[in-house]
Amino acid sequence: MVDITHKNNTLRKAIASAMVTVSKPETIDKIINKSIPKGDVFEFSRVAGLFAVKKTYDVIPDCHPLPVEYTNIRHHIEGLTIKIEVEVHTIYKTGVEVEAMHGAAITALTLYDMLKPIDKGIEISSIKLESKTGGKSDSKINSEMPINCAVIVCSDTISAGQNVDASGKYLAGKLEEMGCNMMHFDIIPDEAELIRASAQHFSDVGADLLIFVGGTGLSQRDVTPQAVAPLIEIDVPGIMERLRSYGQDRMPYAMFSRGISGFIKDTLVITLPGSQGAVKDAVQALFPHVFHVFKVRGGYRHE
């Protein structure tokens, strides 16, 4: 199966449908009157569909076992056609599209099985996904309003040429992939005055998002949070709460990060650890969902 350990749990929903068409009005009449010899076809097929949704991972090899937290199966009669709708919800790392379609397919097959003794001309058609929500696809940036970003790597050794930066370049590349406008990338020593000056500068020139990479650990030399904290005007603590929670699920030492997040003027400032693994975790944990903060703040400031 595909590795989904890096993904976030989010509310995910899917609606799938299937069509069952009978060949004569008498079949529909018997369904409505509940006079089909094998029983109430809607109730039997609904139960079969529920079982199918919950057992999808048993029969589709690449489907992950997941907590099915809501399923609703509906039947609509339209002439000689019965439209089946299956709605499935979960809070998990992957979607429930296949579960919904599997439920629709088995509901339709159960109808077929129960109706075929009285109608030999039944047809199943158009099993399809009607809609889905949840996951990163619902949190995209408006491409007409790109977010102006700056990434600053704080490291004495990298700025002195003794080490090579990987974390900052990775982050900048990912932000560009998500549609951000990378207005500046720099590497500076881990010195409080330089960090404060950078934070002040990019809040003055109108950056929407400023991310510092490095200097958030417990070492006495790590000064990024202390340098930035006095400039923060509006704290957004949930960003770091989310990052630490995500990180600690995967690596227990994430609890030691002292990263902070908040606004300096209209610039959202986030301080991240310096390791490439921690930055990769941050990208998965925070983006693109964190961009919603700009809508909460009343839209992008450069609209």
Residues in the chain: 303
Q: Which helix (H) or strand (E) holds 283?
A: helix 276-286
Cβ neighbourhood burial of 229 (10 Å; 0-12, 13-18, 19+): middle
179: left (phi over 0), alpha (psi -120 to 50) or beta: left
Angle formed at CA 173 by CA 4 and CA 148, multiple of 5 degrees:
115
For the question of residue 113 being annotated catalytic, the response is yes
The sheet that has 10-21: what strands, in order across it? 70-78, 81-92, 10-21, 123-133
Give residues with Cβ within 8 angstroms of 181, minimum separation 6.
146, 147, 148, 149
Q: How many other CB atoms are there within 10 angstroms of residue 90's CB atom?
A: 22
In angstroms, the CA 260 to CA 258 distance is: 7
> How far is the C-alpha of 280 from the C-alpha of 265, rounded, in Å?
27
Catalytic residue among 113, 119, 156, 266: 113
Catalytic residue list:
113
